Amino acid sequence: MKALSDNICIGLDASNIKSGGGITHLLNLLRSSDPRKHGITKVVVWAGKNTLSLLPRYDWLRSVSTDYIDMSLPFRTWWQQMLLPGCLTREGCDLLFSPGGLSPRRLSVPVVTMSQNLLPFDPHEMARYGLSPVGIRLRLLRRLQEESFKKSDGVIFLTHYAAKTVQSCIRGDIHGKIGIIPHGVEHIFYNEPRPVSPVSFINDFNSFRLLYVSIVNMYKHQWNVVEAVGRLRTKGLPLTVDFVGSAYPPALRLLERAIRKYDPVGEWARYKGPASHAQIHLDYQAADAFVFASSCENLPNILLEAMAAGLPIACSNHGPMPEVLGDDGFYFNPERPEEISSAIEALYANPMRRLRKAMGAYRKATTYSWERCADETFSFLADIARRSA
């Protein structure tokens, strides 16, 4: 058996990482720390050609592609289950890291998996999709990830809430080492809280601008936010709200229906569609406050971005949001528009209170760094590799 000290080789399966938060995590993991200080002298990444083109170039990093990864899901799955184990042996890997949460059934090296999607482990949220293709995919993903987590030598969760939720849903125990390693926030989003204007300075010509950045989806409840803001508009509060993000078509129809009902002339509620990575931080800077109405999250990266942007936040009280935001949010039940209204009104009506909470949230955001995430991840991987040697 190979003796491990300071010569560890990590295999990283990024075959199912192609966009969104998975890409952000992968890139920042590789850019933000030198794994050699943890005894890791080589990291081999398997990914699709587009993903590999984004990776940094280091002497310790080897990028490997294969046509199977860029093919459809059945071919990609076949490669992962049948060919990846041999690839690990040929590259001399001492451990496999699968941040996508899935791993081959048979391996000759230890494996560390990662939980980044809580939807498959929340029956109430999965029920919103019924027997649609998305619903079927989530159920299949739950079975596959459950099997991977149970046989892993280590499992990384992003929050304590996610670790507790997943473990309570799995039939049997996770026997591997468990790590809680949150993601970070990119430096571009940081913007210290700005001085607040008295409520008397806000009017229809200088409205109070709310922002909700997120995919429009069944568990994000954007339509409830529209109804909540509509209620406040009828009370004379000069609020506008912008929704930014891509969309799941059935959920987008709910949002558009709510906008037609509560803002038929398009005066104050706008769906702006997705924004580029280069643009999104400017949307945060243009807003006066942030609304986050999700009912299912693992680690809400968008909430972290809003905290880093120095915005006061009206926030869902579900999932890990109170763990992340603490006492520095104006909380509500995202499925109750009247509670969303009350939270936004409390935020709006108390300028100094919202400034204090924005400052507290900003300070919390500074503890979520990609440097910390990368260091803790590579330390965790090295420890599992040494334990199994």
Question: The domain 8-184+369-388: what is its CATH number?
Answer: 3.40.50.2000
Q: Is the pLDDT of residue 60 over 90?
A: yes
Tokens standing for 33? 């720390």
Q: Please tell me the least confidently modeled range out of 32-41, 99-108, 236-245, 293-302.
A: 99-108
- pLDDT at residue 1, rounded to an integer: 40
Task: Encode 153-183: b = buried (16+ Cβ within 10 Å), e = exposed.
Answer: bbbbbbbebbbebbbeebeeebebebbebbb
Domain residue spans of the chain: 8-184+369-388, 187-365
Task: Name the residue among 122, 108, 103 with its Cα closest to residue 1.
Answer: 108
- In angstroms, the CA 180 to CA 164 distance is 11
Provide CB contacts within 8 A for 363, sequence distance 6+: none
Q: How far is CA 290 from CA 25, 156, 203, 303, in A?
A: 23, 29, 19, 9
Q: Is the pLDDT of residue 173 over 90?
A: no
Q: CATH top-level class for 187-365?
A: alpha beta
- pLDDT at residue 193, rounded to an integer: 94
- Which residues does residue 39 pair with via DSSP β-bridges, in sequence order? none
8-184+369-388 and 187-365, same CATH topology = yes
- In angstroms, the CA 27 to CA 300 distance is 18
Tokens standing for 153? 């030598």
Q: What are the tens digits of pLDDT across the range 247-268?
A: 999 999 999 999 999 999 999 9
Give me the chain's average pLDDT, please: 92
Identify the residue with better confidence: 20 or 223. 223
Tokens standing for 152? 């892993």
Tell me whether strands 239-244 and 269-273 are parallel, antiparallel or unpaired: parallel
- pLDDT at residue 329, rounded to an integer: 97
Residue 108: other Cβ atoms inside 10 A: 10
Q: Is the pLDDT of residue 2 over 70?
A: no
Provide CB contacts within 8 A for 21, sequence distance 6+: 116, 183, 301
Handedness of CA 354, 355, 358, 359 (dihedral sign): negative
Q: Is the pLDDT of residue 153 over 90?
A: yes
The model's confidence at residue 139, banded by pLDDT at 50, 70 and 90, is very high
Q: What are the tens digits of pLDDT across the range 320-371?
A: 999 999 999 999 999 999 999 999 999 999 999 999 999 999 999 999 999 9
Q: How far is CA 282 from CA 15, 343, 353, in A?
A: 32, 25, 24
The model's confidence at residue 74, banded by pLDDT at 50, 70 and 90, is confident
In what side-by-side order are the strands of the sheet with 61-64?
A: 61-64, 40-47, 8-14, 95-98, 111-114, 154-157, 177-180
- In angstroms, the CA 202 to CA 232 distance is 14
The model's confidence at residue 75, banded by pLDDT at 50, 70 and 90, is confident
- In angstroms, the CA 206 to CA 253 distance is 30
Q: Is the pLDDT of residue 290 over 60?
A: yes
Q: What are the tens digits of pLDDT across the range 269-283?
A: 999 999 887 789 999
- pLDDT at residue 203, rounded to an integer: 66
With 0-12 CB in 10 A as exposed, 13-18 as middle and 19+ as buried, what is 134?
A: middle
- pLDDT at residue 261, rounded to an integer: 97
Q: Is the pLDDT of residue 212 over 80?
A: yes
- pLDDT at residue 172, rounded to an integer: 72
* Mean pLDDT, rounded, for 194-205: 71
With 0-12 CB in 10 A as exposed, 13-18 as middle and 19+ as buried, what is 75?
A: middle
